[in-house]
Structure 1
Amino acid sequence: MYDTLVTLKKGAGRTLKAGGMWVYDNEIESIAGDFENGDIVTVHDFDGFFLGIGFINTRSKLTVRLLSRKKGTVIDDAFLEKRVQNAWDYRKQTVDTGCCRLIFGEADWLPGLVVDKFSDCLVVESLALGIDRLKPAILDALCRVLKKDGIEIRGIYERSDAKVRLQEGMERYKGFISEPFDTKVEIEENGVKYIVDVEDGQKTGFFLDQKYNRAAVQRLCKGKKVLDCFTHTGSFALNAGIAGADSVLGVDASQTGVLQAEENARLNHLEDRVKFQCADVFELLPQLEEKGEKFDVVILDPPAFTKSRNSIKNAVKGYREINLRGMKLVEDGGFLVTCSCSHFMEPELFAKTIREAAHGAHKRLRQVEFRTQCCDHPILWAADESYYLKFYIFQVCEEL
């Protein structure tokens, strides 16, 4: 069906054959046939064995991203609608769909595409040339699928402004796909209301991946003094407040984020107990320790300290430092909530870093629970890049 043929080198494609969806540039022996970047191609092993079909971009190290492993598949509107329907059916069975991630790239077999639903608005991030060409048909299908369940989408906004698009030979872009609408969208999650800025907020406007991790924190916070570091727009702080914390301090280096967090606190009538401060967490934690401050619950939800393998050493230092400082601020018997959203900070390395921080802080940890990203960000086995969020709750005790 697709005449351009990509043939792998002998012994190459181990990740692909194990269930992954990517063909790297250094795995390709030859490309036969005329094509333009973004076209659909057929992938064969060195001996002619069919491996799948996907879209090609020779400007990217991820030269081919698979769409199907079935011979004879046609990538048409019916194919895309089935993919979208499957993604929606999965969300309906597993997650609160008032606000959720509808499409999670490779984990929904639509590589390079993210679609988040905030109430009746969609936010789209397209990171690959091939999927960018298919994007209009996918979004049309998504609106049809949602409409069948009585959900009318008011508007669609695109946040394809990540630098990775440049590696695909595409320009960074953000703007309306639909008719313009108010980009300050109100959502509710775990009983907490938020104003999501889909136009100027980080990434697509709100970090949906921590949805049920935020709920897990609620049961620890009633009647407690809570510190929420890297609060962004206040999500963990507000979950602590809604659960009945006596006082909450949320800290973030972004003044814009702090202002949004304060607006969210007022929206939930929590402004008397949930306060926010614009500060560098790495500078503030030692200052709080020097003042003798203690908290019943300390939450550490930093941005990814590393986005490549080359910077892991510095990332480890950063995670070790904030966890050590955080543990020192926890009352004996209190709780530390700590996480990493970097795919390259592998689970074993993150656990080792926390252990080292505990040793340095002279604290003993009892693990309450370990969690990952919310189920609307499913982890596709054999696609390691889909697993990125590590989330721990520990009880912190003085050394015996």
Structure 2
Amino acid sequence: MDVFLSAGRERRVRTGHPWVFSNEIARVDGQAAPGDAVAVHTAKGEFLGVGHFNPQSLISIRLLSTRREDIDSADFFRERISRALAYRRTLYGDLDGLRLVYGESDFLPGLVVDRYGPVLSLQFLSLGMDKRRSLIVGALQELLQPQAIVARNDVGVRDLEGLPQQIEVLRGEVPEEVVVRENGLSFAVDILGGQKTGHFLDQKENHMALRERVAGGRVLDLFCYSGAWAVHAAHFGAREVLGIDISPGALDLARGNAARNALAQLCSFRQGDVFEVLRDLAARGERFDTIVLDPPAFVKSKKRLTEAVRGYLTINRRAIELLEPGGFLFTCSCSHHMQRDLFLDTLRQAALKARRTLRLIEVGGQALDHPVLLACPETEYLKCAILQAV
């Protein structure tokens, strides 16, 4: 099947971006069913690449190759996944907690594969990838021999592809306990019920930035989830760490992870709405030497951006008000739509409203196993700004 773009609508694809939007398509020759592989051409007939077609989605084509090749073969997926694995091994060796495939950045748009020890946790985010799950699972089984393969397809983006949200065990049996290592520390992972695919793998390098900044200090970890920031802070010498999350299940994980690393005596965890907890801490005159703000994505679509900026502004202002002089704020945004410049401007406004002077120490991004495809800015989403109150 062949798809032809409207005149002049091929420019973004020529730069290496793998998406074709529905309003860029002029015509489809042949009977292309949703999820089929199609060849993409310019209006004049010049070949641009091959990809998965879904006329029900705003992103109607996700390109997998700029060559004429069979993207429906076991060999294709085995080769692509092998390349992704080789890249991670050069970075982390045989680390047991990794993002092995990161969609567009690994030239497999719509596919995420995370490794948690003996378990692989997958997300099929596009119809094209979902229809090829047997090829993908077969390649992963051959290359990695996991004990279990799980599909964490409980994500809203599947609605846009006309796919159901669900969690499935595709192969094997998930162990009763799954524990992974990060920076020499151990963390239990909730494979079937945890956030994302079970654990946050994208903050590995940012966690290390706590070292030499928290020793002897009092630390507040907001939206603490399973306690990765809190446990790292205690490990790096904090005298006291308080973690806050609204989820009882997350707090159980966090307490278990603190105990697993022999740091339970330094870490306490409390259930609560972070916005309300911040107000309460301020009313009681509490102060902290380091505060970590790692909230879920406040903005999941561009039309909600203004509302999200208000949320980031409020929560950062309240956190800044609790900082001791010389204290550090580690504040994050995991939304692509909240781009770096806007995020930093929001932090400037938050400092102004808090009547505090802050200096920007550094801005981190997502871990190296979440590489950014330069031609596809949507693959860059995580910002971790480290600020100091002066």
TM-score, shorter chain, exceeding 0.5: yes
Superposed, 1:10-159 pairs within 5 Å as 10-73=7-70, 75-95=72-92, 97-146=95-144, 152-159=145-152
* Aligned-partner SS, 1:66: strand
**2:122 is matched by which residue type in structure 1?**
V
Cα distance in 2 between the residues matched to 1:293 and 1:120: 43
Aligned residue identity for 1:132: D
Does the CA-based 8 Å contact 2:42-2:48 persist in structure 1? yes
Q: Please point out which of 179, 182, 186 is paired with 2:175.
A: 182
Q: Is the counterpart of residue 253 in structure 1 residue 250 in structure 2?
A: no
Aligned amino acid, residue 158 of structure 1: A
For the Cα contact (< 8 Å) 2:54–2:61, is it kept in 1?
yes
CA distance in 2 between counterparts of 1:386 and 1:72 reads 25
RMSD, aligned CA? 1.3
SS of aligned partner of 2:203: helix
State the Cα distance separating 1:236 from its structure 2 match.
0.3
Say yes or no: does 1:224 pair with 2:238.
no
Q: Partner of 1:149 in structure 2?
A: none
Sequence identity, in percent? 41
Q: Report the counterpart of residue 7 of structure 1 in structure 2.
A: 4
| Gap regions ≥5 residues in structure 1 | 147-151
Please show how residues 202-351 of structure 1 align to structure 2 within 5 Å.
202-351=195-344
What amino acid sits opposite 1:113 in the alignment?
L
Give 4+ residue runs of structure 1 displaced > 6 Å after superposition.
none
Shift of 1:73: 4.9
Please give the secondary structure, in 1, of the residue aligned with 2:180: strand
8 Å contact from structure 1 (residues 85, 142) kept in 2 = no
Change (3 A) 1:222 1:322: same
Give, in whole Å, the separation in 2 of the partners of 1:264 and 1:391: 23
Offset at residue 13 of structure 1 (A): 3.2
TM normalised by structure 1 equals 0.94
**148, 153, 167: which one aligns with 1:160:** 153
Whichever residue aligns with residue 261 of structure 2, its letter is N
Name the stretch that deviates more: 165-174 or 277-286: 165-174
Are the structure 2 counterparts of residues 271 and 74 from structure 1 closer, same or farther at C-alpha, using a change threshold of 3 Å?
Answer: closer
Q: Quick one: distance in 1 between partners of 2:287 and 2:160?
A: 46
Aligned residues: 389
Distance in 1 between the 2:69 and 2:119 partners?
35
Alignment-mate amino acid for residue 127 of structure 1:
L
2:119–2:174 contact (8 Å) kept in structure 1: no
How high is the TM-score relative to the length of structure 2? 0.97
Distance 1:251 1:106 in 2: 34
Give, in angstroms, the shift of residue 175 of structure 1: 1.6
Code of the aligned partner of 1:214: H
